[in-house]
């Protein structure tokens, strides 16, 4: 194949792969803006119905509720997809993260199904039944999303960890071409050990994330309790990078 | 020597038109139509030429200026820092935000009903 065909194909590939990620975010933004509009209209129709419970007002309110539910669940599906992409875009074949991504896919499917089911709401009884079932079923999937939001941060730290391993390997191969002092060898060993320690912290954080005790935590506490741990790991990774760069500048160019 | 004579009527007409200036009338008419455009282009070209000339003269005429440093000021010599190929990874880690929730969960009502709200 001649070069004039290969280059456009390569460029198209990168455009498509980046645009897929960009589209899950933009899809969520679009659905969310539709939800906000739909919801504010629903509130007006609901008020009219509660003030004057005529059949006409009821029908309008039900139609508006149906539309709002549809858009709400499409928004949730889009958001779930976006969070899942944030995890999978790191291209890590790491089982705990793969499991979380699979749960998010299941939740995304749940919300899509609910959006489709909402189209069968015709009467007030239909609306009440749908709502009762939804209130029982959605909690588990919302929890999955909250876990996903934290997991995508951990995924990024794990990605950095993998990059650091590769960096250490490349530095080792650069330094090994000359005889190095014992001190340098010790520093390289120390770096290797530090990497393992950080990796253990990441594993611990992930395991804790999906524990039952943690899943039972609600509200802001669920998130705030993770921030310190994420910050600690990031600080360790930064400190590690300083040591690596110091070695590189002093011995890497021999 | 043979006398050179033109007998071709087309050639004779061409020569006559050339001598009388009739040949140039269409060109002159076109130039008259776009004369202001031509004048503007000419002025721009002149401006650019003079600008380049002036710049050239200025560059040639600049004299080197020597001024010794102040005796009481310290000369700080900053060593040129060689960068590491790992700087970009460090920057990526540094720029990474550990704030949560990020992204923020959308504010959605999970209970869409037509019941009166009880407060």
| DSSP notation for A212-239 | HHHHT--HHHHHHHHHHHHHHHHHHHHH
pLDDT at A136 > cutoff 80: yes
- Cα B81 versus chain centre, distance: 34
Q: What is the token pair recorded at A34?
A: 């539709």
pLDDT band at B81; cut points 50, 70, 90: low
Is there a contact between A103 and A168 (Cβ–Cβ < 8 Å)? no
Phi, psi of A217 (to 5 degrees): -70, 135
Q: Find the mean pLDDT for residues B52-66.
A: 76
Output the CA torsion sign for A78, A83, A84, A88. Answer: positive
0.90 exceeded by pTM: no
Mutate to test the interface with A, among B79, B85, B104, B106 (most CBs of A within 10 A): B106
Lowest mean pLDDT among A70-79, A104-113, A171-180, B39-48: A171-180
- Mutation test of the interface with chain B: which of A223, A232, A240, choosing the one with the most B Cβ atoms within 10 A? A223
Residue A251's pLDDT is 81
Confidence class for position B73, pLDDT limits 50, 70, 90: low
Is residue A36 within 8 A of residue B106, CB to CB? The reply is no
By CB neighbour count within 10 A (0-12 exposed, 13-18 middle, 19+ buried), where does B49 fall?
exposed
**Burial per residue of A225-235, b for 16 or more beta-carbon CB atoms within 10 angstroms, e otherwise:** ebbebbeebbe
Which of A183 and A191 is assigned the larger pLDDT? A191
Instruction: Please indicate whether, in this complex, the C-beta atoms of A234 and B106 are within 8 angstroms of each other.
Output: no
Q: What is the pLDDT of residue B44?
A: 94
CB contact under 8 A, A127 and B86: no
Pairwise CB contact (< 8 Å): B102 & A49: no
**Which one of B84, B112, B118 would you mutate to disrupt binding with A, by most A Cβ within 10 Å of its Cβ?**
B112
Distance from CA of B82 to the nearest CA of A (A): 7
Q: How many CB atoms lie within 10 A of CB A245?
A: 20
Range list of H helices, A89-218: 95-117, 124-175, 182-209, 212-215
Number of C-beta neighbours around residue A88 at 10 A: 17
Q: What is the pLDDT of residue B26?
A: 87
Residue B25 pLDDT greater than 70, yes or no: yes
In this prediction, what percent of chain A has a pLDDT beyond 90? 74
What pLDDT is recorded for position A213? 66
Asked if pLDDT for residue A123 goes beyond 60, the answer is yes
User: Would the pLDDT of A54 be above 60?
Assistant: yes
Spatial CB neighbours of A242, under 8 Å, sequence gap ≥ 6: B90
Model confidence at A124, pLDDT cuts 50, 70, 90, reads very high
Q: Three-state SS for A95?
A: helix
Mean pLDDT of all residues belonging to chain B:
84
Q: How many CB pairs under 8 A join A and B?
A: 104
- The answer to whether B79 faces chain A, any CB pair under 8 Å, is no
Token output for B94? 């540094």
- Per-residue confidence (pLDDT) for residue B62, from 0 to 100: 58
Q: pLDDT band for position A12 (50/70/90)? A: low
Q: Give CA torsion, residues A233, A234, A238, A239, to 10 deg.
A: -30
Give the model's pLDDT for residue A184. 86
A214 pLDDT band, cuts 50/70/90, is low
Q: Is the pLDDT of residue A254 over 60?
A: no
- Output A200 or A20, whichever has higher pLDDT: A200
pLDDT at A180: 65
For the residues A1-23, what does the mean pLDDT come to?
A: 57
**How close is the nearest chain B Cα to the Cα of A5, in Å?**
32
Contact in structure between A59 and A123 (CB atoms under 8 Å) = no
């Amino acid at each position: 194949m001649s070069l004039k065909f290969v280059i456009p194909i390569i460029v198209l590939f990168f455009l498509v792969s980046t645009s897929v990620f960009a589209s899950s975010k933009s899809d969520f933004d679009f659905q969310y803006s539709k939800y906000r509009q739909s919801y504010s209209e629903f509130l007006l129709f609901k008020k009219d119905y509660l003030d004057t419970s005529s059949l006409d007002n009821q029908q309008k309110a039900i139609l508006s509720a149906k539309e709002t539910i549809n858009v709400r669940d499409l928004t949730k599906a889009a958001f779930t997809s976006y969070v899942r992409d944030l995890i999978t875009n790191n291209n890590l074949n790491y089982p705990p993260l793969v499991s979380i991504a699979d749960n998010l896919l299941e939740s995304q499917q749940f919300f899509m199904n609910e959006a489709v089911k909402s189209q069968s709401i015709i009467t007030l009884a239909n609306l009440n039944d749908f709502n009762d079932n939804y209130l029982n079923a959605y909690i588990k999937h919302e929890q999955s999303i909250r876990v996903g939001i934290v997991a995508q941060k951990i995924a990024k730290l794990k990605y950095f960890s993998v990059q650091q391993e590769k960096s250490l390997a490349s530095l080792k191969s650069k330094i090994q071409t000359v005889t190095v002092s014992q001190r340098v060898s010790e520093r390289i060993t120390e770096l290797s050990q530090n990497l393992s320690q950080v990796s253990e912290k990441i594993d611990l954080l992930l395991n804790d994330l999906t524990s039952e005790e943690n899943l039972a935590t609600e509200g802001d506490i669920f998130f705030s309790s993770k921030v310190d741990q994420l910050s600690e790991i990031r600080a360790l990774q930064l400190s590690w990078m300083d040591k690596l760069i110091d070695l590189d500048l002093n011995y890497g160019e021999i | 020597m043979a006398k050179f004579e033109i007998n071709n009527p087309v050639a004779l007409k061409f020569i006559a038109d050339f001598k009388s200036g009739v040949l140039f009338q269409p060109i002159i008419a076109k130039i008259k139509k776009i004369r202001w455009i031509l004048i503007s282009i000419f002025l721009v070209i002149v401006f650019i030429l003079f600008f380049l000339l002036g710049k050239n003269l200025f560059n040639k005429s600049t004299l080197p200026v020597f001024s010794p440093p102040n005796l009481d000021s310290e000369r700080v010599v900053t060593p040129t820092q060689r960068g590491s190929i790992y700087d970009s990874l460090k920057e990526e880690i540094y720029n990474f935000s550990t704030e949560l929730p990020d992204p923020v969960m959308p504010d959605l009502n999970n209970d869409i009903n037509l019941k009166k709200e009880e407060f």
